[in-house]
Structure 1
Amino acid sequence: MDNECLRRLIVAAGGGVADAEIAVKEIGPDAVVPVLLRELLERADFGGVDTTATVLFELDDQCWTITAAGFAPGRTDCEVTVRQELWDLLRGVFGPAAARTNCTRSIRWPDSPAVGRDSAGRFGQVAHFLHRLLAGSTAAPVDLTELILRFGSDKWGFHHYTGHYARFFEPLRDLPLTVLELGIGGYGSPTSGGGSLKAWQRYFHRGLVFGVDIVDKSPLDGQRRTTRRGDQSDKAFLDALIAETGAPDIVIDDGSHRCDHVIASFQHLFPRLAPGGIYVVEDTQTSYWESFGGSASRLSDVDTSMGYFKSLLDGLNHSEFDPDDFTSTGFEKQIAGMSFFHNLVFVQKAVNDEGSLPGFVAGKPIA
């Protein structure tokens, strides 16, 4: 299913029951069911669980059999049956927390010795598998660090970014976001990397995730996960990318880490970030490395990553300056906040035009 239809399902899941029912009917149950079952499989953490179970899903008039290896239409011998209305599963998979009630779901166990309570623990194995499978349709908390480690990203371990990410991103998890990450990882291998894209896809269960790399990483594409090959400093490429994705809500620069690339990407993409969006730059240690265009002595040089972002700080208080003494960066009315951590910068986009204190405030200079 293309991203346009996926986005429609995600938005409908955040509406009422009627919105979900209409979306299922217009897109078609035959197309919707595989999307939802694929999400359940991709979100499931089967680590340490016996994965040989067979589950039957009865969704309206659709019957699908699912195992850890995949799913297929039709009814076969199964060890447990899940019955649910399709609109309800849609809301469970793609809805905000309040909609993820799965209020029409029932679970039926067959009268079969194969999964009987006395069958050498088989009942427990299947129940454990089913619990992991259905977890992707519930509003249970998700540990971002655990996801990062599961999918093989270096955002925790070599770095310790996930605590900061969780602080900024947790309030956004229920929104139908567009996430764009520059840099996919895996260096020159088309099939390597993508760990953080998969983690964002799982963390933002209503999000569409896009990744950019100088190497073709299309073998890593998946549902709600799209890669594009391009140079993060190429304005024409970035324009074409935004035309496809729409205004991103989150941009994460984990690309080349060259100072000139970091600055060029920010200057072109931040104005195209959605209002209320967040722009993140990782690995700013390269701002002090000459091989990346940085300097450990010219700390305020605006040609280095950190020097550039520090130069934007005073713009937060632009209304306090005499216009004749203030040089605009072009961003001061778009940046509402900046946060600096070890090798990590967050820039928050919102209207910053509060104006200065009134003239009668004691101590304020009189023009």
Structure 2
Amino acid sequence: MKLIQVFQNLQHHLKKLIYRNNLIKLSSLYDDAKWGDNHRFAQHYQKHFAPLRLKKLKILEIGIGGYDDPEAGGDSLRMWRSYFPNSMIYGIDIVEKKSLESSRIQIFQGSQEDKYFLEKVIAKTGQMDIIIVDGSSVNEHRIKTFNILFPLLNDGGIYAEENTHISYWPSLGEKWSKLSEKSVFLANHVNVGGSLDLNASDTIMAMYKRLADGLNYQEFLNPGYSPSYFDKHIVAMHFYHNLVITYKGNNNEGSNIIENNTLHPFVLETLGVKSLDDLELEFSKVEQQGNK
């Protein structure tokens, strides 16, 4: 049996070496559920992360896996360590998981909605280049995490939000509490704060849909509009099934016909009016996400 185990370990390490450039194949060597048939994130991460693979980065993953078992989980952290050979990998979990630390993997225990804790972690590690969120299933927690951590990304950084399906699952409440006692999976989805209403304003997808509008904030015809931090620092967003990938940078391209959220003078002149008031438009209030 020992000889078989040695052979299996050798085979595993050899495959890691062979697959080191291909995240899709590399992910098949790890047991984390997100890399299975139901969560095809690897193909998207391969596209976005491949140009960065050999860089010296700081990568943070929230949610280590293994639930309440301090010895379980960590496969994703080990996979990132294999894929990014020159990077430091950090993990955050509500459960103590220090036993899973190893070379180039450092773990912190705390809540992803605790602003003081998250800022303390970043103060210790330095700002991140990639943040991957796979922690709490509660929409409110996810929104708080984004508002805290996205500003702490380096310019050019990437923020990946996994399992956005929680937006569409309403809290099950007491009616389902007994059923949830029989399943860890259900227990984590009893009070996620999602909604059957696709226009609900307090879900993680609602936040990202609003942020997508912010990409074009300089095109808003809305005098007096004050752009948020996110309007000015999100430069690209990619939406996939259960995954949103957001890039940070300087969103300052400007508009051809809008200036300071009103019509440029030459447009007014072309329209034959002296001011925007002459057009008798009704402006609706634009709700901002995390104005800073």
Q: TM-score range with shorter-chain normalisation?
A: 0.7 to 0.9
**Cα displacement string for residues 288-309 of structure 1 (whole angstroms, at most 9, x for unaligned residues):** 1122001021x23331010111
| Whole-angstrom distance in 2 between the partners of 1:179 and 1:232 | 15
How many Å apart are 1:143 and its aligned residue? 2.2
| Whole-angstrom distance in 2 between the partners of 1:355 and 1:310 | 21
Which of the residues 254, 259, 264 maps onto 2:144? 264
Which of the residues 52, 59, 68 maps onto 1:172? 52
Matched residue, 2:83:
203
Matched residue, 1:296:
196
After TM superposition, list the pairs within 5 Å mapping 1:238-253 onto structure 2. Answer: 238-253=118-133
| Partner SS for 1:181 | strand
**Cα distance change, pair 189–49 in 1 and its aligned pair in 2 (3 A):** closer
| Residue 307 (structure 1) aligned with residue 206 (structure 2) | yes
Which of the residues 12, 17, 21 maps onto 1:142? 21
Which of the residues 271, 278, 293 maps onto 2:158? 278
| Partner SS for 2:216 | helix
Contact 1:148 1:155 (C-alpha < 8 Å) held by counterparts? no
| Residue 324 (structure 1) aligned with residue 204 (structure 2) | no
Contact 2:20 2:83 (C-alpha < 8 Å) held by counterparts? no
Which residue type is aligned with residue 84 of structure 2?
A: F
**Cα displacement string for residues 201-255 of structure 1 (whole angstroms, at most 9, x for unaligned residues):** 0000111000000000011000000111000000000011001111100000100
How many Å apart are 1:362 and its aligned residue? 12
**Cα displacement string for residues 39-97 of structure 1 (whole angstroms, at most 9, x for unaligned residues):** xxxxxxxx998489xxxxxxxxxxxxxxx7xxxxxxxxxxxxxxxxxxxxxxxxxxxxx
Which residue type is aligned with residue 150 of structure 1?
A: L
**Cα distance change, pair 329–143 in 1 and its aligned pair in 2 (3 A):** same
| Whole-angstrom distance in 2 between the partners of 1:338 and 1:328 | 18
| Whole-angstrom distance in 2 between the partners of 1:325 and 1:153 | 48
How many Å apart are 1:326 and its aligned residue? 3.5
Matched residue, 1:356:
255
How many Å apart are 1:153 and its aligned residue? 1.5
| Residue 188 (structure 1) aligned with residue 68 (structure 2) | yes
Matched residue, 2:113:
233
Contact 1:302 1:311 (C-alpha < 8 Å) held by counterparts? no
Matched residue, 1:29:
none
How many Å apart are 1:344 and its aligned residue? 0.5
| Whole-angstrom distance in 2 between the partners of 1:177 and 1:168 | 14
Which residue type is aligned with residue 175 of structure 1?
A: K
| Whole-angstrom distance in 2 between the partners of 1:187 and 1:259 | 19
How many Å apart are 1:151 and its aligned residue? 2.2
% identical aligned pairs: 42
Which of the residues 339, 348, 351 maps onto 2:238? 339
| Whole-angstrom distance in 2 between the partners of 1:179 and 1:217 | 17
Contact 2:20 2:82 (C-alpha < 8 Å) held by counterparts? no
TM-align CA RMSD: 2.9
Contact 1:288 1:295 (C-alpha < 8 Å) held by counterparts? yes
TM-score w.r.t. length of structure 1: 0.60
After TM superposition, list the pairs within 5 Å mapping 1:118-157 onto structure 2. Answer: 132=14, 142-157=21-36
Structure 1 residue ranges without an equivalent (≥5): 1-46, 53-67, 69-127
Which residue type is aligned with residue 148 of structure 1?
A: S
Which residue type is aligned with residue 146 of structure 1?
A: K
| Whole-angstrom distance in 1 between the partners of 2:161 and 2:89 | 17
Larger Rg: 1
TM-score w.r.t. length of structure 2: 0.75
| Whole-angstrom distance in 2 between the partners of 1:209 and 1:153 | 16
Count of aligned positions: 242
How many Å apart are 1:322 and its aligned residue? 3.4
**Cα distance change, pair 215–363 in 1 and its aligned pair in 2 (3 A):** farther
Which residue type is aligned with residue 295 of structure 1?
A: S
Contact 1:184 1:193 (C-alpha < 8 Å) held by counterparts? yes
Which residue type is aligned with residue 34 of structure 2?
A: K
| Partner SS for 2:215 | helix
How many Å apart are 1:314 and its aligned residue? 1.2
